[in-house]
Amino acid sequence: MADEVNNVAEALKFMVLGMGVVFLFLLILVKVVELQAKLIAKYFPEDAPKTPATPAGNSADEEQRKVAAIIAAVTEFRNKKS
């Protein structure tokens, strides 16, 4: 009987530890994600690769954008097909 009581106490300790770690993990995750969102919003303004505001002088950049557009079109087409 004493052993069983002990086991229950043990299980309760597991619960405290387990829930603690789960919440700790998720809280840190939430904080990191919030921070990450802020940093990205600051250094990579919304959808930088898609905005055509950049001057069209750079030909390599232009090329990349064309490729991106083609890929987007193809994936769109494929998605529609499936």
Partner 1 sequence: MRIKNILISLFFAFFVFTNVAQASEHESGSTPPTTEKKAYESKSLSQLASSWWSTTGINALIDFDDGETTSEPKGADYEREMTWFESSLGRIIMIIIVFVLFYLAIAKNFEPLLLIPIAFGGLLANIPLANMGGEHGMLGIIYNMGIANEFFPLLIFMGVGAMTDFGPLLANPKTAILGGAAQFGIFGALVGAVVLGFELQDASAISIIGGADGPTSIFIANRLAPDMLGAIAVAAYSYMALVPVIQPPIMRALTTKEERRIVMKTGRKVHRLEKLIFPIVVLMLTLLLLPESAPLIGAFAFGNFAKESGVVDRLSDTMQNSLINVITIFLGLGVGSKLAADKFLVLETMGIMIIGLIAFSVGTAAGVLMARLMNKYSDEPINPLIGAAGVSAVPMSARVVSKVGSEEKPGNVLLMHAMGPNVAGVIGSAVAAGVLLSIFK
Q: Is there binding between residue 37 and partner 1 (CB under 8 A)?
A: yes
Please give the DSSP secondary-structure letter assigned to residue 44.
S
Q: Which of 1, 2, 18, 57 binds partner 1 (CB under 8 A)?
A: 18
The interface mask with partner 1, positions 45-74, x = CB under 8 A, is -xx---------------------------
Q: Is there binding between residue 3 and partner 1 (CB under 8 A)?
A: no
Please give the DSSP secondary-structure letter assigned to residue 48.
T
Q: Which of 58, 69, 75, 77 binds partner 1 (CB under 8 A)?
A: 75
Q: CB of 33 within 8 A of CB of 41?
A: no
Q: Residues in the chain, how many?
A: 82
CB-based contacts of 48, cutoff 8 Å, min separation 6:
none
The vertex-62 CA angle with 60 and 65, nearest 5°, equals 110
Using CB under 8 A, list all residues that contact partner 1: 4, 7-8, 10-12, 14-15, 17-19, 21-30, 32-34, 36-37, 40-41, 44, 46-47, 75
